[in-house]
Structure 1
Amino acid sequence: MTGLLVHEWIESSGGAENVLEAMARAFPDADIQCLWDDAPHRFADRSVRETWLARTPLRRHKALALPFTVGAWRRLPASRDYEWMLVSSHLFAHHATLAGRDVPKYVYAHTPARYIWNPELDERGNSLAVRAVSPLFQRIDRRRAQEATAIAANSAFVRDRIAQAWDREAIVIHPPVAVERILSQSDWRTQVTDADELRLLEQLPVPFILGASRFIPYKRLDLVIAAGERTGLPVVIAGRGPEEQRLRAIAAAAKVPVRIVVSPSDALLYALMQLASVFVFPPVEDFGIVPVEAQAAGTPVVTGPVGGQVETFVDGVSGVAAASTDVGDLSDAVRRAASLPGFEARDATARFDEPAFQERIGQFIAHDGPGISGNRLGGDGSHD
């Protein structure tokens, strides 16, 4: 069966792009459609089509492009006789339709658009402009969500938000994580080749707690540093992003040693995960791939009590859910996690590996979303 994979936009890195790559491996004959492609090397062996937005300056300004994406997804030209669409959506990609074709549309939802549905989870939704237009976009978004043949959510947390926002049922298919790759090396330090990274490893304070993500406000990496200060443990922060200078200022004023590691290689990041006493992950996430990676490296995780990341570990075995993200509660959870007995990394992470994802996503396409009855919650499948 000839299929089309649909994705918002393609970047050089990102969890959603990793999911798209796994989908592409699961369906090697499928083409790809996106708004614009900023990383053509990722799918160099595929036919990747862009929308008209790719030919405008809006591709460089996601916030300004947002209202235009609603129309850009409609009546896409079909270069082949597609029999299904599998849509990877975290904004409005699930609005996609093909010109002159009515094909089954299977939606893999990373989240309903946080901008308009959950601004408390994404500060970009709190601007006056976004709040003014959110009711209109919500109506359009809910109506078009009814077009999907079936919907899969990347976590139970997102499944519940889909029910509230879109009035649709969804099954849960956790995204794939590179657990087998991480498990393949008992000591990732042996895979680090860069001289500066090797020097950094030699200078690490031991023990330390680790935070790793993009350097953006909602990831709350400042709380990782605060938890280190409260527990007296050195801190390593790894990633990159616009918050780097702010984090460096916080690190310089901290009462414990704090190392900021910018753009680590995969080998260095996995080595840091293996060496850390605890991996601390404060944000409310739709799923939380990085905590799974930390567990695959054998390190217990600490998260807040709300979000999809809570589904990635067994509390008291491979991690601890803090009572809140208050620094005191987070610090108490760090102490508890640091004292946990060792756990079997493979057992903790096997359900998140790529073969498990590929099996479930294949069943999702083949069986119209197993476990789903009807389009609307409590409804008969009729459209708005």
Structure 2
Amino acid sequence: MKIAIVHEWLTVIAGSESCFKEFAQIYPEADIFVLVSDEKSLVKLNIDPSRVTNSFIQKLPKSKTKWKNYLPLFPFAIEQFDLSEYDVIISSSHAVAKGVITNALQTHICYIYSPIRYAWDLYHQYLDESNLKKGLKGFLAKSVLHYIRKWDRTTSNNVDEFIPISKYIEKRVWRTYRRKSYKVIYPPVAVEDFTLKIEKEDFYLAASRLVPYKKIDLIVEAFAQTPEKKLIVIGDGPDLDKIKEKAKDNISILGYQSFDVLKDHMQRAKAFIFAAEEDFGIIPIEAQACGTPVIAYGKGGSLETVKGKFKGQSIDEEDTGVYFDKQSVPALIEAISHFEDNYVKFNPLNIRKFALTFDKKIFIQDIKKTFAEIIEKHKK
């Protein structure tokens, strides 16, 4: 049985690349197809370059750093891979990987992180943040995204079975493609890299890449209005200067830090603050693996990765955090107050126990079993 694994790009290491790495290790004989890759990322992922076939985008100027500039070419590029000799195609897709051309004798399994967010759910936000709402560039961008939406929906028919990363994405797959998913399998989290610490200190932690949708600025504004509470922010990104300007004396912006420094803060923090609407969200699970409760925006993947309650709901010993219902400063301040009123009810041992349900070993076992079931079901 010949297997091909398709992914969008291997130029940065993020959550989807962690899943891709596991697929590549589960099927070490599989060939790999990507739009673009770089040598450093392949080394980090322990991928032999001889396994990798890149698209023509690889040869375009600055493709390894500015690959997103070639967005209009992505659908055409992914369709150029000739996968006709393979029995099984596994697409690891958050943009166009699922759009590879397959035939009736092949089984195509798509592990999907999301339908293309900037073409669907984040369409207006993407245009606004990129200053593409008006003018000729705006017209061209809207036309490209309109085409990609049509292409994306059409190519969903190339997939035999979808496996979404969360129930939240399962709903989005149905809404976008009108396709039922085979089952949800949560992404792997390296919880064994994070160790439990029972004793906590009197500070809150936020850690993320500093980009608009992560809402770190909202967290900083909330603590700027509550000067008696201490906040530490770890992370770097284009919003760093803007966030520093909003910080008061009770807020420390540490910028980029090593993994050991991040883990140390996660272990000691009174709570981890997470204000983004994510498809899944790995970092709150990492914090919980340290026995640290989470204060999270109660929408999207957080409803699955944090076992929490909203204000007015009773906290019990199995809970791992609290939710706030709006991405606003007053809502977050209210959630922090709710958390502090119930702080003694949170048990670090139970919090870590919940985090362990997302362990990488569970992911590998579930993926192997599920892929085998699907291949057997779709034997041609």
Consecutive aligned runs of 4 or more in structure 1 exceeding 4 Å deviation: none
Q: Secondary structure in 1 aligned to 2:53?
A: strand
Quote the offset at 1:257 in angstroms: 2.2
Equivalent position SS for 1:325: coil
Change (3 A) 1:83 1:160: same
Taking the aligned partners of 2:95 and 2:47, their CA distance within structure 1 comes to 26
Matches within 5 A, 1:373-384: none
Secondary structure of 1:303's aligned partner: strand
Cα distance, 1:125 vs. partner? 7.2
8 Å CA contact 2:210, 2:237 repeated in 1: yes
Aligned partner letter, 2:357: R
1:246 matched to 2:242? The reply is yes
Alignment pair present for 1:54 and 2:58: yes
Equivalent residue for 1:382?
A: none
Deviation at 1:67, TM superposition (A): 1.2
1:265 to 258, 265, 272: 258
Residue 283 of structure 1: how far off its partner (Å): 1.0
**Alignment pair present for 1:89 and 2:96:** no
Report if aligned partners of 2:114, 2:279 keep a CA contact under 8 Å in 1.
Answer: yes
* 1:164 paired residue number: 175
1:346 shift after superposition: 3.4
**Retained in 2: the 8 A contact 1:209–1:279?**
yes
2-structure distance, mates of 1:318, 1:43: 32
| Number of the residue aligned with 2:11 | 11
Residues 33, 50 of structure 1: 8 Å contact kept: yes
Larger deviation, residues 352-361 vs 42-51: 42-51
Whole-Å separation in 2 of the counterparts to 1:72 and 1:120: 22
CA distance in 2, matches of 1:369, 1:90: 22
For the 8 Å contact 1:114–1:125, the answer to whether it is kept is no
Amino acid at match of 2:93: S
1:73 to 69, 78, 82: 78
Show CA shifts across 1:197-247 (max 9, x none). xxxxxxxx9521111111111111011112223343111111121222222
Q: CA RMSD in A?
A: 2.7
User: Structure 2-normalised TM-score?
Assistant: 0.84
For 1:112-131, what aligned pairs fall within 5 Å after superposition? 112-119=115-122, 122-124=125-127, 127=132, 128=138, 129-131=140-142
Task: Report the identity percentage.
Answer: 28
Contact 1:278-1:334 at 8 Å conserved across structures: no
Match of 1:207, SS? coil
Cα deviation for residue 349 of structure 1 reads 1.2
- The change in CA–CA distance for 1:296 and 1:208 in structure 2 (over 3 A counts) is same
Residue 151 of structure 1, aligned match among 154, 158, 162: 162
* Cα deviation, residue 62, structure 1: 3.6
Alignment match, 1:22: 22
1:210 maps to 2:205: yes
Choose the corresponding residue for 1:361, options 364, 367, 371: 367
Q: Aligned partners of 1:328, 1:368: CA distance in 2, in Å?
A: 47
Partners of 1:214 and 1:115 lie apart in 2 by 18
- The letter for the 2-side match of 1:94 is K
- Residues 76-104 of structure 1: per-residue CA shift (max 9 Å, x gap): 145x9432111111111110236x89521
User: What is the alpha-carbon distance in structure 1 between the residues aligned to residue 239 and residue 60 of structure 2?
Assistant: 28
Question: Aligned match of 2:355 in 340, 349, 357?
Answer: 349
Quick check: 2:280–2:302 contact (8 Å CA) kept in 1? yes
User: Which stretch has the larger CA shift, 67-76 or 2-11?
Assistant: 2-11
Q: What does residue 222 of structure 2 align with? A: 227
Are the counterparts in 2 of residues 2 and 83 from structure 1 also a CA contact under 8 Å?
A: yes
Cα distance in 2 for residues equivalent to 1:6 and 1:113 = 16
CA distance in 1, matches of 2:215, 2:223: 13
1:299 aligns with 2:292: yes
CA spacing shift, 1:320–1:137, aligned 2, 3 Å? same
- Taking structure 1 as the reference length, the TM-score comes to 0.84
Residue pair 2:11, 2:36 contacting (<8 A) in 1 also: no
Equivalent pairs, count: 350
Structure 1 window deviating more from structure 2 (242-251 vs 80-89): it is 80-89
